[in-house]
């Protein structure tokens, strides 16, 4: 499948069927922590990048074929709301199934009324807010011109007023960058203005394009939880478990996931072992065969081996 992947397991969204609406990589930001690598060209013009009916047909097939799905999650190889017509897709998915729909977005385009209108039918919207000042917003997100901090916060506040579903704001906590008391208090002020239902703290646990990205200390995470708890319920999600048990073609399934984000080797090993219960030799042989396909490379991140796509492969 070209647009649909998973389901991928996560604490926040359970078994989540991913729907990728964008060509790699189409984004309004160029975050220093982006697991998709650098944004070569920032874009802000919205388009129907792929025919909406083609995407809907894939979702329909996935709903027939895949096992348990808790959420259908629109997410992009970049900024999801750049896809013009996502509102139509959400409405059509709602006609197909009662499974709730989530939209993961950086939120940069919600200052536009027509973009806010497109998510009104979703059950949850998860926008990003990684800074409480213009300076840090620019340092972390490196946004396209015209997408400054105030516009971002005002867009999210406007969405909150119009949108009746769950608004879960994600804060990527970066060690030494936005985890000082002052930076955390600034983020809390912006969160107060937005008034989300929940705040999700996320961490840069995957390889990033910039060397300056580090995990925050446990003490800083606790401090962030304490400061943000004044505004809303704070969730610090533990990592979900990758589930490949419903895959009919493992190479295709692993490619679909690794092409969207690097995967920790031991997470992948565990997911493959779960496909062959009690047969460790078969699991190791399968992991070896996946690697021998030449589709993947292993890179080191904070001492942990991760699988990434081999971009040199034809």
Beta bridge partners of 298: 307
CB of 45 to ligand SF4, least distance (A): 15
| 20 lies in the binding site for ligand SF4 (CB under 6 A) | no
Q: Is 305 exposed, middle or buried (0-12, 13-18, 19+ CB in 10 A)?
A: middle
Query: Which region, judged by CB under 6 A, interacts with ligand SF4, from 15-23, 33-41, 229-237, 283-291?
Result: 33-41
Q: Which CB atom, from 220 or from 260, has the smaller least distance to ligand SF4?
A: 260
Q: Within 60-119, which residues bind ligand SF4 (CB under 6 A)? A: 78-79, 106
| 36 lies in the binding site for ligand SF4 (CB under 6 A) | yes
CB of 293 to ligand SF4, least distance (A): 26
| 31 lies in the binding site for ligand SF4 (CB under 6 A) | yes
| 39 lies in the binding site for ligand SF4 (CB under 6 A) | yes
Give the separation between CA 215 and CA 226, rounded to whole angstroms. Answer: 18
| 30 lies in the binding site for ligand SF4 (CB under 6 A) | yes
Which listed residue (13, 17, 34, 191) binds ligand SF4 by CB under 6 A? 34
Q: Which CB atom, from 152 or from 220, has the smaller least distance to ligand SF4?
A: 152
| 15 lies in the binding site for ligand SF4 (CB under 6 A) | no
Q: Which CB atom, from 78 or from 262, has the smaller least distance to ligand SF4?
A: 78
Q: Which CB atom, from 82 or from 224, has the smaller least distance to ligand SF4?
A: 82
Instruction: Name the residues that contact ligand SF4, by CB under 6 A.
Output: 27, 29-31, 34, 36, 39, 78-79, 106
């Amino acid at each position: 499948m070209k647009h649909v992947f998973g389901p991928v397991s996560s604490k926040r969204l359970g078994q989540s069927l991913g729907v990728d609406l964008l060509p790699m990589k189409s984004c309004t930001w160029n975050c220093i922590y982006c697991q998709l690598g650098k944004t070569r060209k920032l874009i802000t013009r919205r388009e129907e990048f792929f025919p909406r009916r083609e995407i809907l047909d894939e979702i329909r097939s996935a709903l027939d074929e895949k096992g348990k799905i808790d959420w259908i999650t629109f997410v992009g190889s970049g900024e999801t709301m750049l896809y013009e017509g996502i509102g139509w897709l959400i409405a059509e998915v709602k006609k197909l199934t009662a499974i709730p729909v989530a939209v993961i977005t950086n939120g940069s385009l919600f200052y536009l009324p027509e973009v806010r209108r497109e998510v009104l039918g979703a059950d949850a919207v998860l926008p990003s807010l990684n800074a409480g000042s213009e300076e840090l917003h620019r340092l972390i997100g490196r946004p396209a011109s015209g997408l400054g901090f105030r516009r971002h916060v005002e867009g999210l506040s406007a969405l909150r007023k119009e949108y009746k579903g769950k608004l879960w704001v994600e804060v990527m906590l970066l060690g030494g960058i936005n985890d000082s008391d002052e930076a955390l208090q600034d983020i809390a002020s912006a969160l107060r203005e937005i008034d989300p239902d929940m705040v999700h703290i996320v961490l840069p646990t995957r390889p990033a394009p910039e060397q300056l990205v580090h995990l925050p200390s446990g003490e800083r995470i606790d401090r962030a939880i304490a400061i943000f708890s004044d505004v809303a319920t704070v969730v610090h999600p533990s990592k979900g478990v990758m589930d490949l048990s419903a895959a009919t073609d493992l190479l295709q399934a692993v490619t679909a996931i690794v092409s969207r984000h690097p995967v920790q080797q031991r997470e992948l090993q565990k997911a493959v072992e779960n496909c062959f219960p009690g047969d460790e030799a078969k699991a190791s042989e399968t992991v070896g065969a996946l690697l021998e396909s030449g589709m993947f490379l292993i890179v080191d991140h904070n001492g942990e081996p991760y699988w990434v796509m081999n971009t040199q492969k034809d």
